[in-house]
Structure 1
Amino acid sequence: MTGPGPDPAPARRRGRPPRARAAEGGGARSRILEAARTEFSERGYDKTSVRGIAKAAGVDAALVHHYFGTKDEVFEAAIEVTMEPAQLVPALLAAGTDGIGERLARYFLGAWENPATRAPLLAIIRSALTHEAAAKVLRGFVLQRVLGRVAADLDVPNPQFRAELAASHMIGIAMMRYVIKVEPMASAGVDEIVAMVAPTLQRYLTDPSETPPGARPVR
């Protein structure tokens, strides 16, 4: 007598397996950030919308709000992923203040020379120049997340003011070299620019004898 045959294979469920769906969910934040960088780079701050970022990332707009909140917060997150302050600040300060001017110049110019980060940086600068909301986000990010942490390690009068002077110097170079493309600045070698700029940045950040005119004394 023949026994019962093998059990029929269970019906296959439609849709992605749970593990694959979880992996997709885990990558959604990265896709949103990448889409945000592209949208802000190509469209500028004013013409970029949360809905457009969501469409480019292949997700629902509600998921963008879930991860980042408002458009300003998405913009700040895009700045952060471009500038990487969690890596930048320790790299600048790890060896103390000796040589910090050169390290700052090399890191900043290196970010602009890299095609992967140049476009987002251009979008950030252009958006801040033309839209107050973008400028406010950039000011808050730079002052709190980058300059504030650098200034905290400077044992000199008016460290915040000095850090802002250094940042203004570097942003001016970025405008001349990468946005307006003024010659010979635009085609000068990175090493040449660093050699000229680093001593000035070092003086801004570490020379205790150079208290900025009109700056309030440290109490």
Structure 2
Amino acid sequence: MTTPRTGSRAEQARRSEARILDAAARAFFADGYERTTIRGIASAAGVESGLVMHYFGSKQELFRRVLEAAPTPEIAAEPGQAAEQILANLADRLTDEPVESLSMFRSMLTNPEAADAVSAAMARYRTQIADAIPAEDADLRSALISAVILGVMVSRHLSKSDDLADAEPEHIIRLLRPCMVSLTADHDDPAPRTAASECRTHPPEH
């Protein structure tokens, strides 16, 4: 008689949980939050619906765990680098926004439960940004940066705002750079310029 290996049950549980998360990610990203069901996720993962609920408790928690597993862009803590890293990450997403992000934004706009989960996931990125900003109001500045990024992405990829959807990524980044530099600037700069003045588009010179 073969003796079961120590920890085999725990390993089986981890594999089942991983299959469920993988199936959930594919379902949420393909169908959105509202159209995805626990039964459908269970079927795709090859488990019973009860096991999904046993591990995760609710669809909202499962959605939160899927978002939690998604990679978060790294932001350096060195002053002066944060703005360019934020802009570089945004530039990549302006060119070819991953279907995962589009599904996340769409779910956030249509379902309060999904919005709560997305907000929690975005908080990780805001925390990284805030940690890189040497200012007492770093959390507020980070929230403003996050709001700008979210607004740009939703307008460009979901609502398809004509000017924003058709604009070259380089042009968008160039216009946003003064704003991002100001919001991430060292508050001890001897000649600071306010975020409001930096974010204002200057008229062209004649």
Divergent runs of 4+, >4 A:
21-27, 111-115
TM-fit CA distance, 1:196? 2.5
Instruction: Quote the Cα distance in structure 2 between the aligned partners of 1:174 and 1:129.
Output: 13
Question: Cα deviations across residues 36-89 of structure 1 (Å, max 9, x unaligned)?
Answer: 22222333222222222111222222333344332112111222333x13xx2x
TM-score of the superposed pair, with normalisation by structure 2: 0.74
Does the 8 Å contact 2:134/2:186 carry over to 1?
A: no
Note if 1:103 corresponds to 2:91.
Answer: no
Among 189, 194, 197, the alignment partner of 2:168 is: 189
Letter in 1 for 2:100: P
Does the 8 Å contact 2:38/2:59 carry over to 1?
A: yes
Letter in 1 for 2:150: I
Describe the shift of the 1:33–1:108 C-alpha distance in structure 2 as closer, same or farther (beyond 3 A).
farther
CA RMSD of aligned residues (A): 3.2
Note if 1:130 corresponds to 2:118.
Answer: no
* Structure 2 SS opposite 1:92: coil
What are the residue-to-residue correspondences of 1:192-203 with 2, within 5 Å? 192-203=171-182
Letter in 1 for 2:29: S
User: Percent same amino acid at aligned positions?
Assistant: 27
* Structure 1 SS opposite 2:75: helix
The equivalent of 2:76 in structure 1 is 93
Instruction: Quote the Cα distance in structure 1 between the aligned partners of 2:195 and 2:152.
Output: 23
Among 117, 121, 133, the alignment partner of 1:141 is: 121
* Structure 2 SS opposite 1:155: coil
Does the 8 Å contact 1:102/1:199 carry over to 2?
A: no
Residue range with higher mean Cα deviation, 179-188 or 134-143:
179-188
Among 65, 71, 92, the alignment partner of 1:77 is: 65
The equivalent of 1:61 in structure 2 is 49
Among 116, 131, 153, the alignment partner of 1:174 is: 153
The equivalent of 2:35 in structure 1 is 47
Describe the shift of the 1:111–1:81 C-alpha distance in structure 2 as closer, same or farther (beyond 3 A).
farther
Does the 8 Å contact 2:134/2:185 carry over to 1?
A: yes
Does the 8 Å contact 2:79/2:134 carry over to 1?
A: no
What are the residue-to-residue correspondences of 1:205-216 with 2, within 5 Å? 205-206=184-185, 208=187, 209=192, 210=194
Describe the shift of the 1:119–1:199 C-alpha distance in structure 2 as closer, same or farther (beyond 3 A).
same
Higher radius of gyration, 1 or 2: 1
Does the 8 Å contact 2:75/2:128 carry over to 1?
A: no
Instruction: Quote the Cα distance in structure 1 between the aligned partners of 2:135 and 2:127.
Output: 14
